[in-house]
Structure 1
Amino acid sequence: MKNNKHLGIKLWIILSGLIVIGLVLFIISFIFSKGLSSISFNFIFDRPKGMPLGMKGGVFPAIVGSFYFTLIASCFASFIAIAVAVYIKFYCNNEKISTLVHVVVQSIAGIPSIILGLFGYTFLVVYLKLGISLLAGGLTLGIMIFPFIEVRIEKIIDEVDEGIINSSYALGMSKSYTFLKLILPICLSDMLGTIALAAGLAMGAAAPIIFTGGVVNAPVPKDILSPAMALPYHLYILIGEGISIDKAYETACVLLFLLILLNIIVIFIDVFRRVE
């Protein structure tokens, strides 16, 4: 009887895994089959052209803009998330404060991305007078991915053998020394993998930058206070305005390729960690 129950659970797990893998492969193959054959050198390295804008030309400014948005978001979110995680795990001795921090992090994770975009516009663009810019858009994306990074870094630190930490304290080492010299080298590859996954989440988000940093047409940004194009926003415009479904598929292929590349980086980081 027990074996039959276990068999049912195993079949359920295998079937669920196959369904997920099948759906992912179907989505990727469908997007690539629709747009990969039309992608050219000019499409990758040219700017949008035509009337309406986007009927012709390429997406190079959007690729560069997406990279800058993602870089700013990843740096900002990682800096704050690592600090919060380290505080909770090493310095916070008050359970009420720890619970409050976790409630705040979980609440931020539950905020719809479009509302984050509205907050970014109201606070960053208008109140702080950053304007529609890479900085405003990147910071808004950073707020979006902050909970993703913070929760996972806490779990990564939790997985470190407590004996290492206690031994360091027993030898008179400070908490900062213990983290920087012992914990960080052990967790670094996992942390980088988490940040890379969060970067993929930021790169594919359109709603937070619609009001804060993304524009329909802009050259390659010269500084962080310049507005910029972004691949997900450009894709949204192409489909939402009915400009060109072919260009939309080509743009989706480029975006999907970049996201797959980020995931490959995560895999290599994990493999490198295991080899070490």
Structure 2
Amino acid sequence: MNIRKVIDYTLVGLFWLTGLFILLVLIAIISYLISKGAPFISIEFLLGNPKGLPIGNEGGIFPAIKGTLWLILLALTISTIPALLTAIYLSEYGQDGKLASMINIFVQSMAGLPSIVIGLFVYALGVVYLGWGISLLAGGVALAIMILPVIVVSSRDALLAVNDNYRLIATSLGVSKYYAFFKVILPQAIPGILAGILLAMGYAAGATAPIMVTAAAIVASSSGALFEPVMALPYHLYILVNEHMSMNMAYATALVLVGLLLILNFLALGLQSIQERINSQ
């Protein structure tokens, strides 16, 4: 057999084994969490408040679920519009300009920042200097900064993935760039943009470090008030494990958090497949 074919078959087999290994690891983690946490998930657990001594040893996680959703919503509200405007500039107007290159470097640098550094920055600026205190607002700003580059990159790539023939045809017909973008380009890129936003939501939902120093509390009502602390699923899980309060509650909380992340990721994958079908037409 040709040596090149042997190398090709070997590499393909290696790629399949690597993918299968990653899939098996994911299945093992989810199966373990289900076996440990599922028996303790109930309506009371999902809709109840933390109870027991120490607090959280019994009861439910509803305030943590609410707090997580409030943080995600606020982070998206703050970051989505600036991220989309940046992505539109990079894909449609900046192209190979110096400003676009600088913005790309800035976005890549932001994506590489450790989340705890972002949290400490917002703590120093918002919590201490501006007097927000440990609050939903501070946590939302920290998460917004963290997910901004994710939305920028995914939205930019979704816009660039749209067939360039649409742009060329619009230009040849004398259609304005503004009109062509909003009537032709943007509608075809929306599934990819939404997929990126969903991935950013999952990224924010699972983040612990930024909210530890900006928003999270061991016990809070999570009413949605901007200047009050909130409970959050990842921080609640950290407290349960770190303080050895209740491993049963910890496994159940982890299962709920992983379930939320899986739902967001599956929705994002579905939207990405729609985007690929649109681009192939």
TM-score range with shorter-chain normalisation? over 0.9
- 2:71 aligns to what SS in structure 1? helix
Instruction: Tell me if structure 2 keeps the 8 A contact 1:85–1:153.
Output: yes
C-alpha contact 1:74 1:142 (8 A) present in aligned 2:
yes
TM-score by length of 1: 0.94
The separation in 2 between residues aligned to 1:247 and 1:230, in whole angstroms, is 14
- 2:100 aligned with 1:98: yes
Q: How does 1:72-151 map to 2 (within 5 A)?
A: 72-92=74-94, 95-151=97-153
Gaps of 5+ in 1: none
Aligned residue for 1:169? 171
Instruction: Give the residue type in structure 2 aligned to 1:263.
Output: N
Aligned position for 1:240: 242
Pair 1:267–1:206, CA change in 2 (3 A): same
Measure, in 2, the Cα distance between the counterparts of 1:247 and 1:142: 29
**Residues of 2 paired with 1:178 and 1:242: CA distance?**
58
Deviates further, 164-173 or 139-148? 164-173
- What is the deviation of 1:145? 1.2
> Separation in 1 of the partners of 2:182 and 2:126?
33
* 1:1-276 to 2 correspondences below 5 Å: 1-92=3-94, 95-270=97-272
Structure 1 position 245, deviation (Å):
1.1
Most deviating of 39-48 and 58-67: 39-48
Q: CA deviation at 1:198?
A: 1.1
Q: Give how far 1:78 is off.
A: 2.0
- TM-fit CA distance, 1:238: 0.7
Q: Deviations 1:90-116 (Å, cap 9, x if unpaired)? A: 222662212211111111111111111
**Alpha-carbon contact 1:48-1:58 (below 8 Å) kept:** yes
TM-aligned CA deviation for residue 226 of structure 1:
2.4
Matched positions, count: 276
CA distance in 1, matches of 2:27, 2:83: 32
> Following the alignment from structure 1 to structure 2, what is the Cα–Cα distance between the partners of residues 42 and 207?
28
Do 1:168 and 1:178's aligned partners in 2 also have CA atoms closer than 8 Å? Answer: yes
Comparing 79-88 and 11-20, the one that deviates more: 79-88
Is the Cα–Cα contact under 8 Å of residues 199 and 264 in structure 2 kept in the other structure? yes
Check 1:9–1:83 CA distance in 2 against 1; reply closer, same or farther (3 A cut): same
Q: Aligned-pair distance for 1:126?
A: 2.4
Conserved? CA contact 1:221–1:227, under 8 Å: no
Matched residues in 2 for 1:139 and 1:109: separation?
A: 15
Q: Unaligned stretches of 5+ in structure 2?
A: none
* Cα distance in 1 for residues equivalent to 2:137 and 2:179: 33
